[in-house]
Amino acid sequence: MSHKVYTIITIAILSLLIASCAVSPTGRKQMLIYSKGQMSQMGITAYDSMKNEGKLVKDARVNQYVRCVTDALLQHIPAGLSGENWEVSVFSDDTPNAFALPGAKIGIHTGMLKVAEKSGQLAAVVGHEIGHVWADHGNERMSQQTLAQAGLQMVAVLAGEPSTQKNMAMSALGIATQGVVLKFSRDQESEADTIGLEMMAKAGFNPQEAVNLWRRMAEQSQGSNVPEFMSTHPSEATRIERLSQQLSKVMPLYHQARGVGANPQCRPPKV
């Protein structure tokens, strides 16, 4: 490849990096190269695929309960997110999992409902997942992956490997398809915890239940959790400690919300 072409590619990547600079809700610098529309479309596509492949819970009591908790939280998100029609589905799956995707999509596994035994604990889970969408974590992760892949492909181009342009396009598509369901980094997990904790407090859910939730998660994972240094996620102990430290900041929000009548009446049914 000529020096001129190399220069053009380098300038293009640098321009993209400059244009993609953003700041998360907690003030952390981010790099976002995908548009909101692109992320929404990918989230909707992934969600539809999950619904087609999974088994949805039809029990009206379960769905109404999850919807009750979710609706209380959604009153405290930014205008750009609150204007969307959020879809909430409960999946019959014993794994204690939940997720939220761009495009206003939320999924809860029945296994999580067994761990999050109180509405406040479910609010901690759902608030955390909404926090990921609020903070554009899916976009951030995909952007990092895409730019890293682009750098590797540039090296391949310079080395004269064949079909590089085609491989680059296929790799980008693969990243885009998988990006919305990739695990988040420790920083992103911590940020989602912070956002979710404040959100649940403003909605009238006791933030202490977030700590109780992770204590229950720790009990559930005994013997199966991996050391923190080997995982992108904070350990349960680290999470409990950090959330406990944040309680003093969010409890006044909770008391203020209760003082003006915020008291979600969401009663968990038997799962």
Instruction: Provide the annotated active-site residues.
Output: 129
Note the Cα 36 to chain centre separation in Å: 15
Query: Residue 109: in which H helix or E strand, if any?
Result: strand 105-109
Q: Which of 224, 223, 199 is nearest to 209 (CA)?
A: 199
Cα pseudo-dihedral 46, 51, 53, 58, rounded to 10 = 170
Q: How many helices (H) and strands (E) does the chain have?
A: 11, 5
Distance CA(141)–CA(200), nearest Å, equals: 25
Using the Cα atoms of residue 59, residue 100, residue 123 and residue 215 in order, give the sign of their dihedral: positive
Q: Please compute, for residue 240, the number of CA atoms within 13 A of its CA located in the half-sphere on the CB side.
A: 12
